[in-house]
Amino acid sequence: MGDTVTRDPQPTPASAADVRLLTEGGREVIRLLAVLLRNAALHRPDNEVFREPGERLRAVVAELLALEGQLDLECVGQVLWVNRVRVRIELRSLPVYRYVAAEVAHRALGGFRFSAPPPQSAVTGLVQVLARRDRASVGHDPVQAFNAALTAAGVGDITALPAAREVVGRPLASRRGRALSAYRQALELIREWSTGAQAEASLNLRRAKRVVQRLVDLSYEEGDGFSLAGLAAIKSHNEYAFNHVVNVCVLAVAFGQRLGLARQQLAQLGICALYHDIGKISIPLEILEKHGPLSEEEWALMGNHTVFGARTLLPLVAHDPNAVRRVLTSLQHHRSYSEGGYPELAVLRRQGLFVRIVAIVDAFDAMTTRRVYQETYLPDRALATLKAQAGTRYDPTLVTAFVNCMGVFPVGSLVVLTSGELAVVCETSVDEERSDRPTVRVIADAEWQPRVPELVDLARPGEERQVARCVDPETLGIDLARHVV
């Protein structure tokens, strides 16, 4: 059986226009699939009855792909989801939906992903494979079997998704799944920007807003060992540029929420953070992913990413006044609080709040990520460095607030307790006087041998264990993301 995907029973709100387009499009795709499936039971694949509904299906999918970049159509019990937006089925269409859902469930599938507008041959291939009544499998994985059948039928832009289920009464599991899903979707978006065209059309703002909104929603679900900031523990040396952008977005939203920003402001901040390094799409990939030190010329080119980003985003201002914030964040996030840094500007403009927030979280994630050309700081040392540069490079008030938000030992830190046990910081205390007593997940005993993880609030009355020091997880071969998210 394929991996079970956890679904959020309360989907992330999107704009009214997005919801309407996705809802109408999703209903139409289901209707057309029903028509095609019924035809498949009666006619050969080359019959003319497939042409019109097949062409219409391709057109609807193409329209939704232009809006979202990717189309996931999923059936979860009696609920239809289109790109994580719940589609309410009209009463008159209920028999049609139930018919398609039953066909999908018969194959133990959860739905389908469209990565490109399917040609007529792909639509026909999908319908023919789906119409088969057998459940032949590869091993015990029906999803793998179905996708193998699609490949054999010459279908390349449609893949089956694993069966999904709503988790009732398990908020932690659901929250973890939604957090990882939001992170992966943000990462996919950044990868697409880096490999796609650099035109304005490649910057899919609707999709970016939806990704950020999911992070905003998660930021209000702190507690019970979960913290949105823990997602920033996901790091990849091979894809530093991609992970870094997403981590900055995650940290900015988590920090902004603790600062008390309203949801709309948080969403704007998250978008600014997600776009802050967009100028790096103009930097050759061999420089971005270089494993050795950069040359002087390469550093100069890399330093220009702030200007490249501002130029890329500037045309969007004509259609969206809020894009000004994204332009300034991209341009100024390496400027310092005392008006130094780069790029040099002929007209000095004081950094706005979003720029100052992004500058801090950008530096924190960069310092705590291992790179060949830069010393890696443990999280507590990175915070100390920010404090030392407060008032010069960074806004001193915001640095103080960030340290209080992250705690003396930030989420994602691997620490040794006074008992000798190893633990991962999962959640910081909202009480500033107890910021050195976070909630941790104990993962190893005093001999540093793995043990059954235990969630411990070090601030609870009677708890004698405290944090002794931070240690480097990489030297111990520990993947922090497994224990934090």
Q: What is the mean pLDDT of residues 298-311?
A: 92
pLDDT given at position 362: 96
* pLDDT band per the 50, 70, 90 thresholds, residue 78: low
Alpha helices in 314-388 (DSSP H): 323-332, 353-367, 379-388
Q: Which of 1-10, 82-91, 419-428 has the lowest mean pLDDT?
A: 1-10
pLDDT given at position 45: 72
Q: What is the mean pLDDT of residues 147-158?
A: 88
Q: Which of 97-106, 126-135, 476-485 has the lowest mean pLDDT?
A: 126-135
Q: Quick check: 25 and 65 in contact, CB under 8 A? A: no
Whether residue 173 is predicted with pLDDT greater than 60 in this model: the reply is: no
pLDDT given at position 198: 46
Cα 284–288–292 angle (5° rounding)?
Answer: 120
Cα 277–280–282 angle (5° rounding)?
Answer: 140
In 77-135, which ranges are E strands?
Answer: 79-82, 85-87, 109-114
User: What backbone phi and psi angles, to 5 degrees, belong to 137?
Assistant: -135, 155
Closest CA to 243 of 308, 313, 304, 183: 183
Q: Which of 138-147, 207-216, 388-397 has the lowest mean pLDDT?
A: 138-147
CATH homologous superfamily of domain 171-406? Answer: Hypothetical protein af1432 (1.10.3210.10)
Query: Which residue's structure tokens are 């795709």?
Result: 29
Q: Which pairing describes strands 439-444 and 450-457: parallel, antiparallel, or unpaired? A: antiparallel
* 124-142 tens-digit pLDDT: 888 888 887 554 444 467 8
Q: At 301, list the tokens.
A: 């080119």
Q: Which residues contact 262 (CB under 8 A, 6 or more apart)?
A: none
* 380/432 Cα distance (integer angstroms): 16
* 86/83 Cα distance (integer angstroms): 8
More confident residue, 331 or 143: 331
- Average pLDDT over the chain, rounded to an integer: 83
pLDDT given at position 177: 72
Q: Quick check: 138 and 102 in contact, CB under 8 A? A: no
pLDDT given at position 18: 66
Q: Which pairing describes strands 85-87 and 109-114: parallel, antiparallel, or unpaired? A: unpaired
* pLDDT band per the 50, 70, 90 thresholds, residue 14: very low
**Neighbour tally for 263: CB within 10 Å:** 14
* pLDDT band per the 50, 70, 90 thresholds, residue 115: confident
| Secondary-structure percent of the chain, ordered helix, strand, coil, rounded to 5 | 55, 15, 35
* pLDDT band per the 50, 70, 90 thresholds, residue 389: very high
Residues in the chain: 485
pLDDT given at position 193: 79
* 425-478 tens-digit pLDDT: 988 876 777 778 999 999 999 999 999 999 999 998 899 999 999 999 988 888
Q: What is the mean pLDDT of residues 60-75?
A: 84
* 115/188 Cα distance (integer angstroms): 12
pLDDT given at position 5: 38
Q: What is the DSSP string of 171-202?
A: HHHHHHHHHHHHHHHHHHHHHHHHHS--SGGG
pLDDT given at position 322: 84
Closest CA to 361 of 244, 440, 279, 262: 244
In angstroms, the first-to-last Cα distance of the chain is: 24
Query: Which residue's structure tokens are 């100028």?
Result: 279
Q: At 307, list the tokens.
A: 């200007």
Q: Which of 138-152, 156-170, 222-236 has the lowest mean pLDDT?
A: 156-170
* 92/448 Cα distance (integer angstroms): 61
Q: Quick check: 385 and 375 in contact, CB under 8 A? A: no
* pLDDT band per the 50, 70, 90 thresholds, residue 164: low
* pLDDT band per the 50, 70, 90 thresholds, residue 172: very low
Q: Quick check: 474 and 370 in contact, CB under 8 A? A: yes
Type of residue found at 328: L
* 266/8 Cα distance (integer angstroms): 21
* pLDDT band per the 50, 70, 90 thresholds, residue 117: confident
CA distances from 354 to 336, 338, 339, 426 (A): 13, 16, 16, 26
* 325-376 tens-digit pLDDT: 999 999 999 999 998 888 988 777 789 999 999 999 999 999 998 876 677 8
pLDDT given at position 209: 87
pLDDT given at position 171: 41
Q: Which range, 30-34, 291-295, 374-378, is most confident?
A: 30-34
- Give the percent of the chain with pLDDT over 90: 32
Specify the domain boundaries for CATH 1.10.3210.10 within the chain. 171-406
- Cβ-in-10-Å burial (0-12, 13-18, 19+) of 36 comes to buried
* pLDDT band per the 50, 70, 90 thresholds, residue 16: low
More confident residue, 468 or 293: 468
Q: What is the pTM of this model?
A: 0.68
pLDDT given at position 271: 95
**Neighbour tally for 84: CB within 10 Å:** 20
